[in-house]
């Protein structure tokens, strides 16, 4: 039981930063596209 909980915590500990960094990366790319888009057009 403890091992299972430990695995879940490890998986969450790995996934949360990935999801957060992925979201930040998308926001950053979105801002860049919004900022550069008008210049390209």
For residue range 1-41, list pLDDT tens digits in order.
688 888 888 888 888 888 889 999 999 999 998 988 887 76
Tell if the pTM clears 0.85, that is, is over it.
Answer: no
The dihedral built from the CA positions of residue 13, 14, 16 and 17, taken in this order, carries a sign that is positive
Burial of 14 (0-12, 13-18, 19+ CB in 10 A): exposed
Nearest to 35 by CA among 27, 10, 15: 27
Token readout for 36 is: 């550069």
Distances (CA, A) of 28 to 10, 14, 16, 25, 32: 27, 21, 18, 5, 6
Q: Where are the domains positioned within the chain?
A: 1-40
pLDDT of 26: 93
């Amino acid at each position: 039981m403890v091992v299972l909980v430990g695995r879940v915590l490890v998986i969450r500990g790995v996934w949360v930063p990935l999801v957060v960094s992925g979201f930040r990366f998308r926001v950053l790319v979105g801002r860049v596209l919004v900022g550069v888009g008008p210049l390209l057009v």
